[in-house]
Chain A
Amino acid sequence: MIQIKKRRPAEDPMNSGSLTDLAFLLIIYFIVIAGFNVNKGYLLNLPEKDKPRIVQQEELMRISLDAQGNVFYQERALSEGELEETIIQQRLSYPETTLLLTVDPDTPYQEMVNIIHSIRRLRVENFSFRMTEEAP
């Protein structure tokens, strides 16, 4: 009787299947981490220094922000909702309204960001800001 030896299946010297998974998981981890470094926020156009823009008196809306984060318009303190309502009303009368924000030097940055957020939400295009002059 002739005996035919069966060939043994070639064995993988090192099972590398799990290594592939590990490598790809690490790749995904690094790609996700890279995404965390993307800066988000608000893009602002800075006004030119010492080059005033001519704006009609009626189209200029001056608001100020004090050190406690209170917003004032025509010497009246406004809440966030009232400010937005005032801007909407002003823009109904004067669509080209320019908003000039004067910020107190001691105002926390977050308060400034809150105002910018409101302005962006209302899509006010003409927006300028400056800091109140500090006493020497």
Chain B
Amino acid sequence: MIKITRNKRSPVVPVSSMSDIGFLLLIFIMLLALINQRHEVKIDYPEAETVEKTQMEHNLEIWVETDGTFTVDGKLQTTAGLEQIIAAAVVDHPDVRIHIIADRNTPYRYVNQVVEVLQLLQHRVVSFVVREGT
């Protein structure tokens, strides 16, 4: 009598589709990163020991350089331009958080110009962006 023994295959989880899932997720996250692209201005951040998270769902970042240059979304602005941008942002999203991101050596008068615009528009809350450090 001939005995035919079958080789039992050990159970294997197919992982070939994992790379597809991985790359799809990757594309999704990369696209999200593109949408949330931040136009960063090269500044020297002020530092403080303890800071709190001030980020919200809707944010508007106003960059202030040492020479008093205002930048929003990578475009230079005047105080009048800032007024329009802030007003439009508040109309779009009333809960928008305004962030002032100023260089640590910026004379306060330039930061105050932004504060005055916010006061003029009766926007009560502002975030002074600071980097956590010594």
Contact = CB atoms under 8 A, between A and B. Distances in A.
B69 interface: no
B52 A42 contact: yes
Given A17-B15, A19-B19, A116-B128, A46 B119 contact: yes
B107 A107 contact: yes
Interface in A106-136: 106-110, 112-114, 116-117, 120-121, 131, 134
A20 to B, nearest CB: 4
Interface residues of B, number: 58
B128 A108 contact: no
Contacts of A19: 19, 22-23
A17 B122 CA distance: 57
Given A41-B52, A105-B112, A30 B33 contact: yes
B132 A106 contact: no
A2 interface: yes
A6 B120 CA distance: 84
Interface centre among A22, A40, A42, A46 (most CB of B within 10 A): A40
A16 B19 CA distance: 7
Contacts of A44: 125-128
B89 interface: no
Interface centre among A24, A46, A106 (most CB of B within 10 A): A46
Given A38-B53, A46-B125, A12 B16 contact: yes
Contact of B108 (A20, A42, A131): A131
B107 A40 contact: no
Interface centre among B19, B50, B55, B131 (most CB of A within 10 A): B19
Nearest to B18: A20
Given A23-B19, A23-B22, A117 B127 contact: no
A103 B116 CA distance: 14
